[in-house]
């Protein structure tokens, strides 16, 4: 089964008082084994939502297939 490196871009929800402040997003790397790239992306998003509840917005930034040497 192929391995994929999934980069997730995560950010917190802002309150109205802090809307002028720009928050730097966090990038989370996940190495996932899955039959397809879309399955790997979905699995990474699910894991990130479980382990990082402070992030309200989780987006897939990139998915790359990783090959063993």
Report pLDDT digits (tens) over 2-59.
Answer: 999 999 999 886 655 656 666 678 899 999 999 999 999 999 999 999 999 988 899 9
**Residue 69 has what pLDDT?**
63
The pLDDT score that the predictor gives to residue 19 is 61
On whether the CB atoms of residues 37 and 4 are closer than 8 A, the answer is yes
Please classify residue 44 by burial: count the beta carbons closer than 10 Å to its beta carbon, then call 0-12 exposed, 13-18 middle and 19+ buried: buried
pLDDT value of residue 15: 59
3-14+24-66 in CATH: which number? 3.10.20
Query: Does the pTM exceed 0.85?
Result: no
What do you get for the CA distance between the two ends of the chain, in Å? 15
């Amino acid at each position: 089964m192929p391995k994929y490196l999934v980069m997730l871009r995560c950010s917190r929800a802002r309150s109205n008082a802090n809307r002028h402040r720009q928050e730097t997003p966090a990038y989370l790397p996940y190495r996932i084994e899955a039959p397809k790239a879309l399955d790997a992306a979905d699995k990474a998003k699910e894991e990130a939502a479980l382990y990082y509840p402070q992030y309200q917005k989780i987006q897939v930034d990139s998915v790359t297939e990783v090959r063993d040497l």
